[in-house]
Amino acid sequence: MSKLTLGPVLFNWQPERMRDFYFRIADEASVDSVCVGEVVCSKRTPFFAPFLPEVVERLTTAGKEVVLSSLALIMTERELDGARELAGMEDVMVEANDVSVAAMLAGRRFAIGPVVNVYNEGTLAYLESLGAVRVCLPPELSAAVMGRLAAGAKAELEVQAFGRLPLAISARCYAARARNLAKDGCQYVCADDPDGMAVETLDEDPFLAVNGTQTMSYHYMDLSAELDRLRAAGIARFRLSPQDVDMVAVAALYRAALDGRMDGARVGAKLAELCPNAEFANGYVHGRPGHTFVEAED
């Protein structure tokens, strides 16, 4: 049985909203695993931290596997201490989004997030040797490359099937800079963009999105029509990355597709209704430019 993972919320949502979001996911969403934790900016961490224990308890009670996600870029002693504390939590699955965290987790079971560059068999085998039992592959890979990795993989392989793609992380805060603010005095302006801030070319064509220090795709990934193909290639899990839409409904659509109750074309049409302001893409999985959408063959 293929499984669904809800990735961590990458955006700076208000902590009460985040808590209520996870409560609803626990009670209503048809997902197997839920990633919780700050991946993008450690300055956001203290706001949600008071709600984390009750969120984890609610998700666990609802039968969801809870995965604690690490930061994607560790730059300060405080962030390093936080990573060490996370790595010391032995009673929960931890997702490493930085190779330094993977090294801290060596010798125990852990997961690898999509921002770690697992592009070849050697990297995958090395992470497996440390203890990685689940790897969410980078979104830039084609289905052919995924299949080659899966052929020799010992770990469970996952791929992001919905949502804006995490492309890069930086020490600079683009959201603050766009408002003429310094990173240290950012005023948490990234909260103004709960779905990311669109970035346009000089011709005013949107092509990326900014989420604080993170660069993301402008388009939402939609692999609903590719699920059977990817399962046949050896992909065991599909990740839904939270966006400012009804993620319970999104999860229900992908579950219906995985269960064979709805075809990819119908799921795609329903997603367009749920996300009226989004543009969808699936180019990477076809070995094409990532911003393109390739229609499924009959």
Domain 3-286 has CATH 3.10.50.40: no
- Distance (Å, rounded) from C-alpha 164 to C-alpha 161? 10
Annotated domain spans of the chain? 3-286
Q: What confidence score (pLDDT) does residue 175 get?
A: 87
Structure tokens at 157: 């392989």
pLDDT mean over 206-213: 92
Q: Residue length, the chain?
A: 298
What is the average pLDDT score of the chain? 94
Q: What confidence score (pLDDT) does residue 264 get?
A: 86
pLDDT digits (tens, 9 = 90+) for 3-58: 999 999 999 999 999 999 999 999 999 999 999 999 999 999 999 999 999 999 99
pLDDT digits (tens, 9 = 90+) for 140-193: 999 999 999 999 999 999 999 999 999 999 988 988 998 999 888 888 899 999
Q: How far is CA 5 from its chain centroid?
A: 9
CA-CA distances (angstroms) from residue 77 to 81, 89, 204, 213? 6, 19, 40, 19
Q: What confidence score (pLDDT) does residue 265 get?
A: 87
pLDDT mean over 195-220: 92
Q: What confidence score (pLDDT) does residue 103 get?
A: 96
pLDDT at 296 over 90: no
DSSP assignment of 5-61 equals: EEPPP-S---HHHHHHHHHHHHHH---SEEEES--S-GGGHHHHGGGHHHHHHHHHH
pLDDT at 90 over 90: no
Decide: pTM greater than 0.85. Answer: yes
Q: What confidence score (pLDDT) does residue 298 get?
A: 43
Angle at 10 between CA 8 and CA 11, to 5 degrees: 135
Where residue 267 falls among pLDDT bands split at 50, 70, 90?
very high
Where residue 297 falls among pLDDT bands split at 50, 70, 90?
low
Cβ–Cβ < 8 Å for 166, 114: yes
- Distance (Å, rounded) from C-alpha 133 to C-alpha 95? 10
